[in-house]
Amino acid sequence: MTDHLAHHTSAAPPTPVGGAAAHSPLYARRVARVHRHTQAAAGRNAMDVISVIRTKRDRGELTDEQIDWVIDAYTRGAVADEQMSALAMAILLNGMNRREIARWTAAMIASGERMDFASLSRPTADKHSTGGVGDKITLPLAPLVAACGAAVPQLSGRGLGHTGGTLDKLESIPGWRALLSNEEMLSVLDSVGSVICAAGDGLAPADKKLYALRDVTGTVEAIPLIASSIMSKKIAEGTGSLVLDVKVGTGAFMKTIEDARELASTMVGLGTDHGVRTVALLTDMSTPLGLTAGNALEVRESLEVLAGGGPADVVELTLALAREMLDAAGLKDADPAKALADGSAMDVWRRMIAAQGGDPDAPLPTSREQHVVKAPSTGVLTRLDAYDVGLAAWRLGAGRARKEDPVQAAAGVELHAKPGDAVTEGQPLLTLHTDTPERFAYALEALGSAYDVAAPGTAFTPSPVVLERIA
């Protein structure tokens, strides 16, 4: 219909049959008005969503003008969800080059406001994870890096499906609030050094709208859209440097090292192009991080790390990311291991939680019901699938299927062994936590093929936590 209308509205005004009217000033003015109207109509319709969809459907490159127009029009509601869905699917199937992705990202940034931390006395550094199971790293990392001299403006999200959300975890702390105004965020950063909160509505609103659409149209995995979604928010956030934790494995969106490498390289390029010092680590997500997957369960484990203990893999990744963030912020001489050991990171955590209305001394919620999964045989645990554990935690109530769904603070999965550990038949392997015991059967179904136990003495070589570095 748009093409049809454009064709007819761009036609020249009718020519008079003849006579004096053809030469009258009134007629000339009418012709000029009609001409201006038709030219304006042609301009409005020259950039239409159907032509944009067709360009990408037919494996063409979108122009800068097409990208700017479609992002702006979709944000304003002039492009319908079903039309943007078609374009997103075309991008998933046919991809984008670096110029297109950079322009798409810039257009999403331009749809809203940009934050400015120039008034802070500290250099800013941020971290983003592409999401996984048991990935509680942000919780100890933000106060740790702040304890070493950087300011950490950590804008985080909620969980969806099998991956957990940082805000859901922190909301298990009584009184803690995720929603802060820009002024409140800056105040906490200035006084504490780190803040973890939700992105405001004014930050890349185009991404907020498109993200929700991708989730229900099977286009979440499109690398250009993942990269531009993440980087538009991080660049608009105004951080001076950024470290990306790109997960690889069954529990991650990127299942292969090749896909993870492509996503990481794309995002590092976007950050560099926009003047943000950016580096990426590819990290393993074939097995859950740490020994918990849930909300309050992961907060409790994070506190163990801040107290100088905690699971070895969580500590290792927290320190690796902290060193990258401090190096990018120009604080390469700082020692994050010392800040964990001497309690200074824990001090920042307590102040950060209190500054956002939380009670750092309040007891965390515990589930009303538990179910123990026992080792089926004696031997060596050689596999514990991250996706299956995350799915079980979600089914127990720790996650959500839709953004508006509630979550249970105490629900989740507790691990009693990791791959490489020796186990004995009948010993606890996993403990399931929930307030609604009718969920156990559904969660156990997800865990039916989640683990393997090999014969005693079987050799096992664990995957390294950090797989690659991309800068």
84 vs 214: CA distance, rounded Å: 9
Considering the domain architecture, whether residues 158 and 102 belong to the same structural domain is answered as no
Strand partners, 118: none
Q: For residue 347, is pLDDT > 80?
A: yes
Q: For residue 33, is pLDDT > 70?
A: no
Q: Band of the pLDDT at 369, cuts 50, 70, 90?
A: very high
Considering the domain architecture, whether residues 65 and 187 belong to the same structural domain is answered as no
Considering the domain architecture, whether residues 344 and 375 belong to the same structural domain is answered as no
Asked if residue 173 belongs to a domain, the reply is yes
Considering the domain architecture, whether residues 101 and 157 belong to the same structural domain is answered as no
Considering the domain architecture, whether residues 334 and 380 belong to the same structural domain is answered as no
Considering the domain architecture, whether residues 344 and 380 belong to the same structural domain is answered as no
Whichever domain contains 253, its CATH number is: 3.40.1030.10
Over pLDDT 90: what percentage of the chain?
81
50 vs 60: CA distance, rounded Å: 14
219 vs 216: CA distance, rounded Å: 8
- Give the pLDDT confidence score for residue 47 in this predicted structure: 76
Among 355, 382, 416, residue at a domain's last position: 355
Considering the domain architecture, whether residues 312 and 385 belong to the same structural domain is answered as no
pLDDT in tens, 236-285: 999 999 999 999 999 998 999 999 999 999 999 999 989 999 999 999 99
Over pLDDT 70: what percentage of the chain?
90
Q: For residue 43, is pLDDT > 50?
A: no
C-alpha to C-alpha distances, 51 to 44, 67, 69, 177, nearest whole angstrom: 13, 12, 12, 44
Among 75, 110, 145, residue at a domain's last position: 110
Q: Band of the pLDDT at 406, cuts 50, 70, 90?
A: confident
Q: Band of the pLDDT at 319, cuts 50, 70, 90?
A: very high
Q: For residue 300, is pLDDT > 80?
A: yes
Considering the domain architecture, whether residues 202 and 282 belong to the same structural domain is answered as yes
Q: For residue 22, is pLDDT > 70?
A: no
Query: Average pLDDT over the chain, rounded to whole?
Result: 89
Asked if residue 290 belongs to a domain, the reply is yes
Torsion of the alpha carbons at 277, 279, 285 and 289, rounded to the nearest 10? -60
Asked if residue 116 belongs to a domain, the reply is no
Q: For residue 179, is pLDDT > 80?
A: yes
Asked if residue 14 belongs to a domain, the reply is yes
- Give the pLDDT confidence score for residue 448 in this predicted structure: 95
Q: For residue 218, is pLDDT > 90?
A: no
Identify the residue with better confidence: 164 or 120.
120
Q: Band of the pLDDT at 400, cuts 50, 70, 90?
A: confident
Measured CA angle at 392 (ends 390, 394), to 5 deg: 70
- Give the pLDDT confidence score for residue 166 in this predicted structure: 94
Q: Which of 40-44, 108-112, 234-238, 406-410 has the lowest mean pLDDT?
A: 40-44
Asked if residue 411 belongs to a domain, the reply is yes
**Could you list the active site residues?**
128, 207, 214, 229, 233
How many domains is the chain built from? 3
SS (H, E, C) the chain: CHHHHHHHHCCCCCCCCCCHHHHCHHHHHHHHHHHHHHHHHHHHHHCCHHHHHHHHHCCCCCCHHHHHHHHHHHHHCCCCHHHHHHHHHHHHHHCCCHHHHHHHHHHHHHCCCCCCCCCCCCCECEEEECCCCCCCCHHHHHHHHHHCCCEEEEEECCCECCECCHHHHHCCCCCCCCCCCHHHHHHHHHHCCEEEEECCCCCCHHHHHHHHHHHCCCCCCCHHHHHHHHHHHHHHHCCCEEEEEEEECCCCCCCCHHHHHHHHHHHHHHHHHCCCEEEEEEEECCCCCCCEEECHHHHHHHHHHHCCCCCHHHHHHHHHHHHHHHHHCCCCCCCHHHHHHCCHHHHHHHHHHHHCCCCCCCCCCCCCEEEEEECCCCEEEEEECHHHHHHHHHHHHHCCCCCCCCCCCCCEEEECCCCCCEECCCCEEEEEEECCHHHHHHHHHHCCCCEEEECCCCCCCCCCCEEEEEC
Whichever domain contains 425, its CATH number is: 3.90.1170.30
- Give the pLDDT confidence score for residue 264 in this predicted structure: 97
- Give the pLDDT confidence score for residue 124 in this predicted structure: 97
Considering the domain architecture, whether residues 87 and 15 belong to the same structural domain is answered as yes
Considering the domain architecture, whether residues 86 and 231 belong to the same structural domain is answered as no
Asked if residue 225 belongs to a domain, the reply is yes
Q: For residue 62, is pLDDT > 80?
A: yes
365 vs 295: CA distance, rounded Å: 9
Per the structure, the complete domain to which residue 71 belongs is given by 2-110
Considering the domain architecture, whether residues 336 and 211 belong to the same structural domain is answered as yes
Highest mean pLDDT among 112-116, 154-158, 263-267: 263-267
pTM: 0.86
Asked if residue 448 belongs to a domain, the reply is yes
- Give the pLDDT confidence score for residue 6 in this predicted structure: 34
Considering the domain architecture, whether residues 348 and 375 belong to the same structural domain is answered as no
- Give the pLDDT confidence score for residue 404 in this predicted structure: 74
Whichever domain contains 20, its CATH number is: 1.20.970.10
Q: For residue 462, is pLDDT > 50?
A: yes
Q: Band of the pLDDT at 9, cuts 50, 70, 90?
A: very low
Identify the residue with better confidence: 139 or 23.
139
Mean local confidence (pLDDT), 167-181 = 96
Strand partners, 278: 242
Q: Band of the pLDDT at 113, cuts 50, 70, 90?
A: very high
Q: For residue 10, is pLDDT > 60?
A: no
Asked if residue 342 belongs to a domain, the reply is yes
